[in-house]
């Protein structure tokens, strides 16, 4: 039975807008007194509420009437998170603010390896509960699709355990969870070498991931102190040959990762704080989505990804939270995106696109991120009459309602 939701003071379907390049707010199609017709979890039609009511009232129509002024948008998509972990890195945060670098802290036993120790020591139940609570917070904030990486196990058994937790917890949650294997986060302390650990991932982890359908995506951190471009290239090429989608942590502190991502046809390359003109040009000429992670900038005190220049050269730009215990502990995607927009001078539409259909492209998803016939009926409503208030209030205006597959989330 179809359900008509509305009327929205403004409904922003984000249709007929390019995946690549700069956007101006005059390109927004803002439907006043808008309505969205949904059935079986999909969008059937979008338009003026009363016109849709008149057209479908005789077809057993149910109406979910909004009593307060609301702006409706496609559900947000966070295409880069590390939500499956245990422990805190508050000590790292204080040390960075005291003058130590990310690399110095890692060399002293902090950083990712500290989270690995906490995560390995945590029970299956504790990790699942942690993940469930973080997904709950994201969903309340209008994020209906969440990418979640492994990467804090760094052994065959522990990486597979994390991926199984992500699958089981995600399957039981209202939000859609997209799993990514990040066993190539850093070199484990027990590994003999970079090459040995990458071979272990290919020979012992990837086959199980494929057999158990634990993830369809692999990631690697290409950076000093993590994995070199030379070793990462054949690793990614072999995974691609096995049918996995690829993404890359690249250009966070030094360059090289983004060009590698372009060369191997990765769906996205994420971070890009160190990217210069050459990297921007390469991304603009490729199909690889550039993913800015402003949470890492706020956590580390470094520069933002060059979002403005990427867009102006014609790249596709998505925005994600990078929610993790070390460099991006805030986890508030909308706040981070609003701040990025201020510093990089992004239009409201560029930010909203980066949180919706452009983020979907970074995950290889084509069934969400816009409100149009056949798309998933994932929707977020904000208690305002003017869509510009959402970014203006820098994350402090919270959703009044979230719908997943057309059903309200309570």
Domain borders along the chain are 3-74+370-408, 77-362
Superfamily name and number for 3-74+370-408: Urease, subunit C, domain 1 (2.30.40.10)
Distance CA 257, CA 276 (A): 12
Q: What is the pLDDT of residue 103?
A: 81
pLDDT band at 281 (very low <50, low <70, confident <90, very high): very high
Distance CA 293, CA 321 (A): 6
Mean pLDDT of the 109-118 span: 91
Per cent of the chain over pLDDT 90 is 94
Task: Judge whether 266 and 220 are in contact, CB under 8 Å.
Answer: no
| Burial classification of residue 64, based on how many CB atoms lie within 10 Å of its CB (0-12 exposed, 13-18 middle, 19 or more buried) | middle
- Give the three-state DSSP class for 248: strand
Q: Which of 92-106, 151-165, 247-261 has the lowest mean pLDDT?
A: 92-106
Per cent of the chain over pLDDT 70 is 100
CATH number assigned to the domain covering 77-362 = 3.20.20.140
Same fold yes or no, 3-74+370-408 and 77-362: no
109-113 contacts, C-beta under 8 A, 24 or more apart? 111/186, 111/326, 112/151, 112/152, 112/185, 112/186, 112/326, 113/154, 113/186, 113/189
The candidate with the shortest Cα–Cα distance to 151, out of 87, 82, 207, is 82
Mean pLDDT of the 312-316 span: 98
Q: What is the pLDDT of residue 243?
A: 98
Distance CA 223, CA 232 (A): 10
Q: Tell me the DSSP string of 361-381.
A: HHTT--SSSS-STTSB--EEE
Q: Which helix (H) or strand (E) holds 49?
A: helix 49-56
Distance CA 223, CA 344 (A): 24
Instruction: Give yes or no for residue 59 having a pLDDT over 80.
Output: no
Query: What is the tally of helices (H) and strands (E) in the chain?
Result: 17, 16
Q: What is the pLDDT of residue 386?
A: 98
Q: Give CA angle at 195 (192, 197), nearest 5°.
A: 60
Task: Judge whether 70 and 381 are in contact, CB under 8 Å.
Answer: yes
Q: Which one is predicted more confidently, 114 or 107?
A: 114
| Burial classification of residue 39, based on how many CB atoms lie within 10 Å of its CB (0-12 exposed, 13-18 middle, 19 or more buried) | middle
Which CA distances in Å does 366 have to 236, 273, 360? Answer: 23, 27, 7
Distance CA 317, CA 66 (A): 33
Quick: pLDDT tens for 343-359.
Answer: 999 999 999 999 999 99
- Strand residues in 262-382 grouped as ranges (E): 268-271, 289-292, 317-319, 379-382
Tell me the β-bridge partners of 177.
146
Average pLDDT, the chain: 97
pLDDT band at 108 (very low <50, low <70, confident <90, very high): confident
Q: What is the pLDDT of residue 131?
A: 98
């Amino acid at each position: 039975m179809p359900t008509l939701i509305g009327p929205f003071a403004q409904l922003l379907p984000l249709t007929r807008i390019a995946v690549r390049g700069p956007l101006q707010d005059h390109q927004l199609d803002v439907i006043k007194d808008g309505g969205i017709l949904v059935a079986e979890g999909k969008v059937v039609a979008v338009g003026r509420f009363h016109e849709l009511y008149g057209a479908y009232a005789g077809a057993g129509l149910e109406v979910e009437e909004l009593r307060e002024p609301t702006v409706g948008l496609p559900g947000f998509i966070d295409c880069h998170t590390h939500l499956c972990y245990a422990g805190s890195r508050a000590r790292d945060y204080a040390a960075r603010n005291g003058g130590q670098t990310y690399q110095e802290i890692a060399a002293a036993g902090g950083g990712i390896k500290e989270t690995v120790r906490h995560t390995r020591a945590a029970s299956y139940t504790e990790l699942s509960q942690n993940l469930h609570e973080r997904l709950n917070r994201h969903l309340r904030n209008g994020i209906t699709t969440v990418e979640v990486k492994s990467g804090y196990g760094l052994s065959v058994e522990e990486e597979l355990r994390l991926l199984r937790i992500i699958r089981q917890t995600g399957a039981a949650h209202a939000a859609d969870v997209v799993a990514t294997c990040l066993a190539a986060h850093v070199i484990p302390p027990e590994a003999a070498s970079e090459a040995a650990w990458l071979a272990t991932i290919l020979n012992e982890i990837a086959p199980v991931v494929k057999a158990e359908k634990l993830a369809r995506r692999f990631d690697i951190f290409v950076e000093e102190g993590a994995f070199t471009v030379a070793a990462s290239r054949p690793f990614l090429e072999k995974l691609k040959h096995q049918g996995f989608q690829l993404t890359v942590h690249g250009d966070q502190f030094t360059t090289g990762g983004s060009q590698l991502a372009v060369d191997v046809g990765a769906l996205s390359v994420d971070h890009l704080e160190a990217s210069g003109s050459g990297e921007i040009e390469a991304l603009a000429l490729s199909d690889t989505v550039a993913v800015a992670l402003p949470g890492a900038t706020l956590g580390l005190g470094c520069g933002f990804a060059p979002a403005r220049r990427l867009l102006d050269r014609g790249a596709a730009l998505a925005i994600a939270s990078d929610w993790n215990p070390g460099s991006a502990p805030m986890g508030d995607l909308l706040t981070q995106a609003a701040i990025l927009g201020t510093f990089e001078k992004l239009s409201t539409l560029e930010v909203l696109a980066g949180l919706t259909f452009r983020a979907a492209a970074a995950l290889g998803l084509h069934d969400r991120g816009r409100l149009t016939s056949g798309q998933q009926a994932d929707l977020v409503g904000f208690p305002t009459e003017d869509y510009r208030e959402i970014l203006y209030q820098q994350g402090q205006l919270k959703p009044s309602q979230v719908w997943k597959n057309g059903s309200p989330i309570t």
